[in-house]
Amino acid sequence: MATAAAFGGSVEGTAQTTDGFKYTDERFADIQMLRYKVEGFDHLTLKQKTFIYYLQEAALQGRDILFDQNGRYNLRIRRLLEAIYTDYKGDRKGKFYAGLSTYLKRVWFSSGIHHHYGCEKFVPPFTADELRTAARQIAPEKLHLAAGQTVDDLCDELIPVMFDPTVMPMRVNQKDGEDLVLTSGCNYYAPGITQAEAEKFYTERKAPLDPRPVMMGMNSRLVRNADGELTERVWRVGGLYGSAIEKIVENLLAARPYADTPAQQKVIDLLVEFYRTGDLRTFDDYSIQWLKDTESLVDFNNCFTESYGDPLGMKASWEAIVNFKNLAATARTEKLSANAQWFEDHSPVDARFKKEQVKGVSAKVITAAILGGDLYPSTAIGINLPNSDWVRREHGSKSVTIGNLTDAYSKAAHGNGMDAEFVIDEATRKIINTYGDACDDLHTDLHECLGHGSGKLLPGTDPDTLKAYGSTIEEARADLFGLYYVADAKLVELGLTPNLEAYKSQYYTYMLNGLMTQLVRINLGNNIEEAHMRNRALIARWAYEHGRAEKVVELVKKKGKTYVKINDYEKLRHLFGQLLAEIQRIKSEGDYEAARRLVEDYGVKIDPALHKEVLTRYEKLHLSPYKGFINPVYKAVRDAQGRITDVTLDYSEAYDAQMLRYSRDYNTLPDVNE
Ligand code: ZN
């Protein structure tokens, strides 16, 4: 499972930070490109750098697989567009070339012709005739023509796929009542196979009493053979996508001698065996070995992983990430964990609900070194794997947050206009600019390492009593634990905050988000539904209402615009402590009625006038709702014998240059993959 970044939110601008690193790059359509920094790479050993070098090669070799999984014409369309993009003879400043450039950038971004998030086919901003005219001007040997095929034949084949709104309108169709397999444009089932046929095929093969079932169907395309019977084309060496998988295996084996531990070499061995055989039992063995390896500094995923792209939720798209532990962030979380009992003992909740023995969790923060397949360019910021239910039940899972990606999102948000529009005054903006990022991270650490693990249920309380309100209450509890302690002198003593002013950045942005800015993600007239958003509204609205008499927090009007004004930060902390105590009581006693009232009174409904105002102000900022990342470039420095003596990093490659280079150097699949 993957955690997505909050979208529609805050990222934009041309953020150039004090260290000179440029986090934002070009914009096109509804997309903003960003860059991430691989902080700490230079401090790795040569062995670790070499390991990462081969793993990132393996992570790029599978790129074509995802294009083909997302649609059977995607590779051909991408290659036709790329040929025109690079060899176009006409006016490069004209409307057609501009439209072609934007469309190709979208195809690269989505690994196909459908929107990466909404799944709908996007419309080319040029005509079919213009495309055909441009294609005719390109040297035919550049156009990937099949034997005997002319340029016009190729155009005849691809033009309806790109332009006709009735052909493959959705990559994944989830509309209830329709044949989801027949009507989805993804390439997991051969054309003509119905949903009923596919479901029957897999139901018949399921062993109903197997307590440890493999994830059937996850690594194959379902096709019809010459006799009309259904059969699987497995993605493996010697099978479908074999030429790409061979390249992946080659690089995994090159990486193997540089693995951190023998246990990690075993991970690679099992993965390679899976890629060679396609055996799903081997995949489970690999997953278990991988999740148990928590010692290695460098870690990676490179496989068929998530099944969001299959309407039946079985077939897994190919993705890859290489990463290493963020030692600074891990040191921070270890400090909190080591003091977990102190935090538990000093929290404002009733002694009856406190744990006598509390153990903090060290949240694992990682630094991404490369993104590939379904994690590129649009990516997750948190990953929790493996996905197999029985493996999770019996062996657990590995959960990480990708620190340098969340960091890039927030750095890029600086100067995007949100703060200028919504923060009340310059003094407050200054506090946010100085301490905002550090306190955000710290609040997340407190939430994850201590918040969720604190407190206990009274004997006899059923953990499921709060039902539908359970997850909102639980998130509020962890958030409040973080809010209460981010302002504590103990953090200054531990060296985690610089002074007793820093927390104000967190208090202001939390209240602003909960009372106002998170509403930009909700359409006018709707209620708040999502648990994290409900929790933030609940905390902010409750603190606002309960501090009203003393004017702790106000909503003030300036020139017709509403602003959050915090008059008394210490009293606000006291209110957070009070609500934490009440929410812990609700949880410990299983007080369903109190949970229901808190959530319904403070976390669900939106003041329509304020909502409309926030949406109008947000719209004027023209922010792109979707973001994705350009990868850094790794170069191996070799000696006369060809041995790697260093690995260097370069962040300057342009988005189109990167995509064209990938298409040239990691060109691992033929145009048609049957
Ligand atoms: Zn949480």
| 314 Cα: distance to centroid of ligand 1 (angstroms) | 28
| 380 Cα: distance to centroid of ligand 1 (angstroms) | 17
Q: Which tokens in the block code for residue 333? A: 């979380």
Q: How many CA atoms lie within 13 A of 227 on its CB side?
A: 3
- Per-residue pLDDT for 428 more than 50? yes
| 475 Cα: distance to centroid of ligand 1 (angstroms) | 5
Q: Which of the two residues, 462 and 319, has the higher pLDDT score?
A: 319
Q: Of 82-91, 169-178, 402-411, where does the model show the most confidence?
A: 82-91
The mean pLDDT value for 39-56 works out to 97
The mean pLDDT value for 471-475 works out to 92
| 469 Cα: distance to centroid of ligand 1 (angstroms) | 14
| 485 Cα: distance to centroid of ligand 1 (angstroms) | 16
| 372 Cα: distance to centroid of ligand 1 (angstroms) | 27
| 67 Cα: distance to centroid of ligand 1 (angstroms) | 34
Q: What's the DSSP call for residue 36?
A: -
Banded pLDDT at 151 (limits 50, 70, 90): very high
Banded pLDDT at 587 (limits 50, 70, 90): very high
In angstroms, the CA 637 to CA 644 distance is: 6
In angstroms, the CA 674 to CA 672 distance is: 6
| Cα 312 to Cα 239, 308, 419, 635, distances in angstroms | 23, 9, 42, 41
What pLDDT sits at residue 523? 84
Tally Cβ neighbours within 10 Å of residue 221: 25
What pLDDT sits at residue 464? 79
User: What contacts 109, CB < 8 A, 6 or more positions away?
Assistant: 31, 116, 377, 378, 628
In angstroms, the CA 438 to CA 406 distance is: 12
What pLDDT sits at residue 258? 98
Quickly tell me which residue has 């991970």 as its tokens: 267
Task: Identify the weakest region by mean pLDDT among 188-192, 244-248, 388-392, 433-437.
Answer: 388-392
| 119 Cα: distance to centroid of ligand 1 (angstroms) | 29
Q: How many residues does the chain have?
A: 674
Q: Which amino acid is at 610?
A: L
Q: Which tokens in the block code for residue 595? A: 């949970």
Name the nearest CA neighbour of 520 among 436, 606, 599, 603. Answer: 606
What pLDDT sits at residue 448? 83
In angstroms, the CA 669 to CA 69 distance is: 12
What pLDDT sits at residue 12? 38
- Per-residue pLDDT for 6 more than 80? no
| 449 Cα: distance to centroid of ligand 1 (angstroms) | 10
Instruction: Report, in angstroms and rounded to the nearest whole number, the Rg of the chain calculated over CA atoms.
Output: 27
Per the CB < 8 A criterion, the answer to whether 146 and 672 are in contact is yes
| 518 Cα: distance to centroid of ligand 1 (angstroms) | 17
In angstroms, the CA 308 to CA 347 distance is: 41
| 617 Cα: distance to centroid of ligand 1 (angstroms) | 30
The mean pLDDT value for 88-106 works out to 97
Cis peptide before 463 (omega within 30 of 0): no
| 476 Cα: distance to centroid of ligand 1 (angstroms) | 8
| 552 Cα: distance to centroid of ligand 1 (angstroms) | 27
| 577 Cα: distance to centroid of ligand 1 (angstroms) | 18
User: What contacts 63, CB < 8 A, 6 or more positions away?
Assistant: 111, 372, 373, 376, 662, 666, 668
| 428 Cα: distance to centroid of ligand 1 (angstroms) | 27
In angstroms, the CA 365 to CA 348 distance is: 28
Query: Which three-class secondary structure state does DSSP give residue 31?
Result: strand
| 657 Cα: distance to centroid of ligand 1 (angstroms) | 39
Strand partners, 600: none
**Torsion angle (degrees, nearest 10) of CA 271, 276, 278, 281:** -50
In angstroms, the CA 347 to CA 358 distance is: 13
Q: Which amino acid is at 24?
A: T
User: What are the two backbone dihedrals, phi and then psi, of residue 83, each rounded to the nearest 5 degrees?
Assistant: -65, -40
pLDDT tens digit string along 381-406?
878 789 898 998 888 778 788 999 98
Counting residues of the chain whose pLDDT is more than 70, the rounded percentage is 97
Name the nearest CA neighbour of 17 among 461, 569, 524, 412. Answer: 412
| 573 Cα: distance to centroid of ligand 1 (angstroms) | 20
Banded pLDDT at 10 (limits 50, 70, 90): very low
Q: What's the DSSP call for residue 448?
A: I
Q: Which tokens in the block code for residue 271? A: 């993965």
Name the nearest CA neighbour of 417 among 106, 32, 5. Answer: 32
Neighbours of ion ligand 1 (CB under 5 A): 478
Q: What is the mean pLDDT of the chain?
A: 93
Q: What's the DSSP call for residue 599?
A: I
Banded pLDDT at 445 (limits 50, 70, 90): confident
| 206 Cα: distance to centroid of ligand 1 (angstroms) | 35
What is the helix (H) or strand (E) element at residue 159, kind and residue range?
helix 151-163
Per the CB < 8 A criterion, the answer to whether 612 and 524 are in contact is yes
In angstroms, the CA 386 to CA 103 distance is: 35
| 447 Cα: distance to centroid of ligand 1 (angstroms) | 6
| 658 Cα: distance to centroid of ligand 1 (angstroms) | 36
User: What are the two backbone dihedrals, phi and then psi, of residue 463, each rounded to the nearest 5 degrees?
Assistant: -60, -15
| 539 Cα: distance to centroid of ligand 1 (angstroms) | 14
DSSP codes joined into one string, 84-148: HHHH--S-TTSHHHHHHHHHHHHHHHHTSSB-TTT-BBPPPSS-HHHHHHHHHTS-GGGS-PPTT
pLDDT tens digit string along 216-249?
999 999 999 999 999 999 999 999 999 999 999 9
| 576 Cα: distance to centroid of ligand 1 (angstroms) | 17
| 387 Cα: distance to centroid of ligand 1 (angstroms) | 20
Q: Which amino acid is at 237?
A: V
User: What are the two backbone dihedrals, phi and then psi, of residue 233, each rounded to the nearest 5 degrees?
Assistant: -100, 105
| 478 Cα: distance to centroid of ligand 1 (angstroms) | 6
Q: Which is it for strands 31-35 and 626-630: parallel, antiparallel or unpaired?
A: parallel
The mean pLDDT value for 331-347 works out to 91
Per the CB < 8 A criterion, the answer to whether 28 and 105 are in contact is yes
